[in-house]
Amino acid sequence: MAVTVTLEPAGRCRWDEPVRIAVRGLAPGQPVTLRASLRDENGALFRAHARYCADAAGLLDLERAPALGGSFAGLEPMGLFWALEPEEPLTRLVKRDVQTPFVVELEVLDGHEPEAQRLLGRAVHKRDFLAPGVRREPVRAGRVRATLFLPPGSKPFPGILDLFGSSGGLCEYRASLLAGHGFAVLALAYFRFEDLPEHLNDVCLEYFEEAVNFMLQHPKVKGPGVGLLGFSKGGDLCLSMASFLKGITATIVINACVANTLAPLRYKDMIIPELSYDLEKYTITESGFLNFVDIWGNPLEKTNHQSLIPLEKAQGPFLFIVSMDDHNWKSEVYARIASERLQAHGKDRPQIIYYPGTGHCIDPPYFPLCRASVHAVLGQPVFHGGEPKAHSNAQADAWQQIQTFFHKHLNGKKSVRPSKL
């Protein structure tokens, strides 16, 4: 019998959807190696492999068969995706063009690596970032530079503004995937994109206010307010937006500071200085990566009080997603400061979800862990932390938590899904 590789769903699916992989036509108990590979838009190669044995009927079902070693071990049906590693070190897997899929090649080899050589079967799997019917609309409205993703249908949808961190540019892959779950999402750039400032030297909150107003006035966005989703520097910008701007209903931040960071923030006649830092306090890991977690000043020290964001002014609830092994920010400390500050002002405690063993860069499910990468602005390798398996579990859970939180507070759905971790 010929060896066949089958996938469910067959052919293609969205990146954040699981896929069931099975191999049929093997000999009973036959040892095989499965390999996965993909290339990003820049041609960078990412690979993973695992060793398996077929069952007594010659079937290998990754939902039932544990990996015996390789890039991972144990029962991990999606391990060949989240365990992908770059051929070129320090390369982070990101999706630059959401209009095209990532193409994953799966191969089955006879025997266990390194002896495995003979190719038994292969399959090609396409993983999309735009769900069927989702529209991608570039936005150049006034000063706003962004991309809007709209789900299919005639009704208005709950709106979200999505901000990334200090690498700048326009990142669309999280927004495009969220739109597939019923949200109108604006992926918002704020520097290092087109005619926006090249460097993060001076930030005006009026720019973000213009983006919020764009969403509130859009006929496909359901009011009366919008949600904010921010990662790293984008997270503290979302905290500032929620504290000073009108029309913000709910805010989620991923590994962010409770003080304004990296550049002064201006709004009307107000200036919030950036949190102090001391670059001489950086350390270098055994692998030679920069670890910046200790360079930041304490937001509670008197000299930094003016940089603290007045969260108590916000009208809507907060969700803090916290990586316990974040080596860029003291995210756990900052979430605790936020909770104490809100309670001291008679506000509800924020929802905080802590993820052990998780690094700084929390992406949608099945993106592999990036423990270190060359920073787009600094040009130096920066350590982010995390362990692959724990990080994968956290990303899958956080993705569900994000959707649940926004559906509850933007869409009026009362069901709350508790964190698995």
Residues 6+ apart with CB under 8 A from 380: 290, 374
* 125 annotated active-site: no
Question: How many alpha carbons lie under 13 Å from residue 190 in its C-beta half-sphere?
Answer: 29
The answer to whether 82 touches 74, Cβ cutoff 8 Å, is: no
Let me know the angle formed at the C-alpha of 362 by 412 and 175, rounded to the nearest 5 degrees.
50
Active-site residue identified among 326, 331, 392, 409: 326
Q: In what order do the strands lie in the sheet with 119-128?
A: 12-14, 119-128, 102-110, 31-39, 45-53, 85-86
348 is catalytic: no
Specify whether the CB–CB gap between 50 and 59 falls below 8 A: no
**Of 232, 240, 331, 339, which residue is the catalytic one?**
232
- Reported as type and span, the H/E element at residue 64 is none
Q: In the chain, what's the furthest Cα-to-Cα distance?
A: 76
* Residue tagged active-site, from 360, 384, 391, 409: 360
For the chain, state the CA radius of gyration: 22
Q: State whether residue 204 is helix, strand or coil.
A: strand
**Angle 164-168-172 (CA atoms, 0-180°, nearest 5)?**
50
Q: Is the peptide bond before 114 cis (omega within 30 degrees of 0)?
A: yes
Residue 409 among the catalytic residues: no
Q: Which residues contact 133 (CB under 8 A, 6 or more apart)?
A: 151, 152, 153
Q: Which residues are catalytic?
A: 232, 326, 360
